[in-house]
């Protein structure tokens, strides 16, 4: 497996929502760092692509945003998960777990020749 895996949009949304729910409001830069850290640098994203995703989530009402001040006193836009977002996260997590479980079963499959 290549160390820097491409992330597709569906899972990126789950990661963003989970990060926001676990670590509280974040600005875009912070989000990118947390995702990088959580994946232990296994994931690399073009950080700009976060923003269209954030807009989509915001349009769906899963997150909201407002301008605030960052740790090192910079103006930054902070994103916060909403109740609708939490619901969406839970739904997506259980869905993901289900998919995972199914895929695992296939992986665990012992072929006759294996």
Partner 1 sequence: MRALRRMWHRLLGIAGLHRSERDLNEEFASHIQMLAEDLIRRGVPDEEAWRRARVKFGNVPSTMEQYRDQRSVPFIDATLQDLRYAWRLMRRNRGFSTVAIVSLAIGIGANTAIFSVVNAVVLQPLPYRDPGQLFAVREVRTDKDTAVFPVNPAHARAWAAECRSLADVAILSNSRAQIGAGNEAAAIARGARVTHNFFSMLGAEPMLGRTFRAEEEEPGLDRVVILSESLWRARFNADRSLLGRMVLIDGVDHQVIGVVAGSFWTAFGGGVSSSPANNQYQMFRPLVIPIDQRTRLMGNYNYAALTRLKPGVTPEAALAELNVVQSRFPAMTGAGGELGALLIPLQDIVTGRSLALWMLAAAVGAVLLIVCVNLANLLLSRVAARARETAVRSALGASRGRIFAHAFSESMLLSGFGGACGLLLASVIVEMLTSTPTVQLPRLHEVRIDASVMVFALLATLATTVIFGVLPAWRLAGQLPGDALRSSGRAVTDGRQGARLREMLIGVEVGLSTALLIVAVLLSISLNRLLNVDKGFDTEQVFTFDVDTAGPQYEDAEGRSRFFDRLLARLDAIPGIQAVGFTTQLPLEGNSWNDAIYRDASSERHSVENRYASPGFFDAMGVKVLKGRAFDDTDRARGVAVLSPKAASLLWPDDQDPVGREFMGEDDKPKLLVGIVADTRAVLQDISAPHAYYPYWQRPPGDVAMVIRSRADADALVAPVRNALHGEDPTLPIAPIEPAQGLVDGSVAQRRLQSRLVVLFAVSALLVASVGIYGVVAYAVTRRRNELSIRLALGASRAALMASIVRQGMTPVLAGVAAGIALGLLLGRTIRALLFGVHATDGQTMALVSLLLVSVGLAACLIPARRATIGTTLDVLRSE
| Member of 9, 37, 49, 90 binding partner 1 (CB under 8 A) | 49
Taking the least distance from each CB to partner 1, the nearer of 60 and 104 is 60
The enclosing H or E element of 80 equals strand 75-81
Question: Nearest distance from residue 84's CB to partner 1, in Å?
Answer: 9
Q: How big, in percent rounded to 5, are the helix, strand and coil portions of the chain?
A: 60, 15, 25
| Member of 14, 21, 29, 86 binding partner 1 (CB under 8 A) | 29
Q: Which stretch binds partner 1 (CB under 8 A): 3-11, 17-25, 71-79, 94-102?
A: 71-79
Question: Nearest distance from residue 93's CB to partner 1, in Å?
Answer: 17
| Torsion (CA) 29, 56, 98, 47 in degrees, nearest 10 | -30
Question: Nearest distance from residue 7's CB to partner 1, in Å?
Answer: 13
Among the listed residues 60, 40, 41, 42, the one whose alpha carbon sits nearest the alpha carbon of residue 52: 60
- CA-only gyration radius of the chain, Å: 17
Taking the least distance from each CB to partner 1, the nearer of 47 and 80 is 47
Question: Nearest distance from residue 77's CB to partner 1, in Å?
Answer: 5
* Per-residue tokens: 34: 């947390």
């Amino acid at each position: 497996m290549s160390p820097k895996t491409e992330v597709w949009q569906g899972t990126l949304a789950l990661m963003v929502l989970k990060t926001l729910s676990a670590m509280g409001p974040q600005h875009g830069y912070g989000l990118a760092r947390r995702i990088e850290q959580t994946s232990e640098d296994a994931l690399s994203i073009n950080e700009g692509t976060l923003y269209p995703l954030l807009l989509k989530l915001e349009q769906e009402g899963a997150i909201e945003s407002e301008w605030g001040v960052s740790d090192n006193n910079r103006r930054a836009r902070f994103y916060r998960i909403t109740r609708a977002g939490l619901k969406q996260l839970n739904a997506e997590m259980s869905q993901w777990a289900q998919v995972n479980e199914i895929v695992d079963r296939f992986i665990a499959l012992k072929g006759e020749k294996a």
